[in-house]
Chain A
Amino acid sequence: MSDKPKSQTVLVVGGGIGGISAALEAAECGAEVVLIEKAPTLGGRVAALNRYFPKMCHPTCGLEINYQRIKKNPRIKVFTMAEVSGISGSKGDYTVTVTTTPRHVTPACTACGDCAKVAASEVADPFNYGLAKMKAAYLPHAMAFPMRYVVDPSVVGTPEGQAIKAACKVEAINLDEKPESFALQVGAVIWATGWKPYDPKNLTMYRHGEIADVITNVEMERLASHDGPTKGHILKPSSGEAPKKVALIQCAGSRDLNHLAYCSRICCLASMKHAAYVREQYPEAEVDIYYIDIRAHDKLEAFYQKAKADPGIRWIKSKPSRIEKGASGEPVVCGENTLSREVYANAYDLVVLATGMQASAQPPAGAQLDDYGFVVSEEGVFGAGVATGPLDVSMSVQSATAAALRAVQAVRS
């Protein structure tokens, strides 16, 4: 090769399962890797999931192994609360500007928790999708990596902020921290910016936010998680009671030209998992799954057949047209059962909208996107995981491993 890359460093943007995997696979091939993440901790969306289909195992299990791999690998540098604000250059020689958001806590933090003890005010907890509040000085969750607290900017310049600062014995609180920018020289860039849940506010007919017991699939994951707002008990948000009848509505936004034109791939299976959560916690509960087509590809068909064998789960081939508010404020799912032609109006204790996946960031210059906002791989700038399209976890990691090879090829001297 005549054009040797100027930099052999690989930049991975996004510290979810895709970005972590891409960073590790490249670093364990000898590449120098910089991994940057917007949030205060790595882990991304999967850290907020209770379990993975079809094994019903816990996402934190694989994250733990990956964090251990990162901790022991000197070739990976991690920046959290950092975002890319600009890219210039070409394959082998990019200058990337990274901007950081103040954490107000320095690396001297020992995660002792003294700051949280004195913090009084509460802020929205994004890890729990706003279903819970957290202290203004917080550890994002027990599996946070880096294991370091964050002080919310709302207490900067307040007496509370001073109290938080004073509580820290190792003087790790810096309330004067300002956003900073720095430049990185890298040879290849992997965008692993993942996804965001499709905003249920757009699905006006399903009245999320208006009827308390209509929730989304990502919220369901938090309700089912042992470290979630209900400590793993699936309860009706309206009353805190156990649900007896639960509806799971597929394609809430996906496969819909008014919303997401594509199929989000994972929702059917995630809903079967949710049915399993409910049936495990409440053996008497009934679960209805509303669907257009059940998409359980390859061996995941086994997961579908297992769910089908459960007499407590009903399958209704129908895209519900709307949700109405019943006499006691309960959600009533309305539509047509396409197999029986019955026009139904079924009342539930809890309705879960299987909202789809949307590309989460608009990557700046350097990456080519398709019409949906997914990264299409190019020379030197690549996509990995759900940044390239709706994928399940296994396929995301597969995609990230492929992206790692592309990066390794691009920075090869």
Chain B
Amino acid sequence: MNAISPNPSRAYDLNFARYVYENIDGGERLRMCMQCGACSGSCPIGQQMDHGPRKLFMMIRAGMKEAVLTSNTIWNCVSCYNCVVRCPRKVPITYILHDLANLAVREGFDAAKKADNARFAKAFMWSARKYGRTDERLVTGIYYFSFGLLEGMKRGMGNQKIALNMIKTKRMHLGMPHAIKAKDELQNILAKAQEIQDRHGKGA
């Protein structure tokens, strides 16, 4: 089902907001947001987000569908849940952002994101195969340098602060990469998954 597009002649058209309330995971509680900013202030990468969750929610109310679904805010959530536990109105912010990202994909607002995602998926799969888990540093490293050496260094430097914040909020660690215990089993599972995918084709 597509989100109802807002009436372009009307600022603060509520059709989009009402769609979000009713169809987005956790959207029901979005009505309760009182714009205090605890979420955007809690976010380890809040500074890197174009709007941050708080303002994004106001934009939903304002009917700014396109701006919301093309926002980087919905893609950048690292699921640390700091905003969720601190939200004084118990809005499940993480769920809402993730499901808005799904909506953006469904409605085709993700062209740029798609190309980007392919690079990221590659890095992710490499880490999963090697360690049985994601190592944030290596995944982002491979992902960044997939754009070329210069761009990779630029991206790496530009995101130092995020890295620091992620370490602080225990979303990233220092030291040797950890591997899971039963790496072999995981690799068997991945191989099986590949086999199924090969058999049925993409999009299974």
**Which A residues contact B (CB, under 8 angstroms)?**
205, 251, 255-259, 292, 317-322, 334-338, 341, 343-344
Contacts and interface: CB of A to CB of B under 8 A. Distances in A.
Nearest to B83: A321
A335 B86 CA distance: 12
Contact of B41 (A255, A257, A258, A319): A319
Contacts of B38: 319-321, 335
Greatest chain A CB density within 10 A among B41, B51, B52, B89 is at: B41
Contacts of A337: 37
Contacts, number: 69
Given A292-B36, A319-B36, A334 B41 contact: yes
Contact of A336 (B41, B85, B89): B41
A336 B86 contact: no
B70 interface: no
B174 to A, nearest CB: 19
Nearest to B52: A336
B42 interface: yes
B88 A251 contact: yes
Contacts of B42: 321-322, 335
A336 B88 contact: no
Contact of B88 (A258, A317, A341, A343): A258
B90 interface: yes
B90 A336 contact: no
B41 A318 contact: yes
A251 B55 CA distance: 20
B34 A336 contact: no
B40 interface: yes
B36 A338 contact: yes
B35 interface: yes
A335 B37 CA distance: 7
Given A255-B88, A258-B90, A320 B55 contact: no
Nearest to A320: B41
A368 to B, nearest CB: 27
B117 interface: no
Interface string B51-83: 110110000000000000000000000000011
Interface string B16-41: 00000000000000000011111111
B88 to A, nearest CB: 4
Chain B CB count within 10 A is highest, among A259, A320, A337, for: A320
Nearest to B46: A343
A251 B90 CA distance: 15
Given A257-B88, A321-B39, A322-B41, 15 more contacts: A255-B34, A258-B88, A317-B37, A318-B37, A319-B88, A321-B86, A335-B37, A335-B38, A335-B40, A335-B41, A338-B35, A341-B51, A341-B52, A343-B41, A343-B46
Given A336-B54, A343-B46, A319 B37 contact: yes
B40 A343 contact: yes
A321 B52 contact: no
B51 to A, nearest CB: 8
Nearest to B88: A256
A283 to B, nearest CB: 31
Contacts of B47: 343
B13 to A, nearest CB: 23
B78 to A, nearest CB: 15
Contacts of B51: 341
A407 to B, nearest CB: 38
B36 A257 contact: no
A256 B87 CA distance: 8
B34 A292 contact: yes
A321 B85 CA distance: 10
Contacts of A318: 36-37, 41
A356 to B, nearest CB: 12
Contacts of B40: 335-336, 338, 341, 343
Contacts of A257: 88-90
B35 to A, nearest CB: 6
B68 to A, nearest CB: 15
A322 B41 CA distance: 8
Nearest to B45: A343
Contacts of A338: 35-37, 40, 54-55
7 contacts: A321-B37, A321-B86, A335-B41, A335-B42, A337-B37, A341-B51, A343-B52
B89 to A, nearest CB: 6
Interface string B139-151: 0000000000000
A285 to B, nearest CB: 24
A334 B38 CA distance: 9
Contacts of A335: 37-38, 40-42
A256 B83 CA distance: 13
A265 to B, nearest CB: 16
Nearest to A337: B37
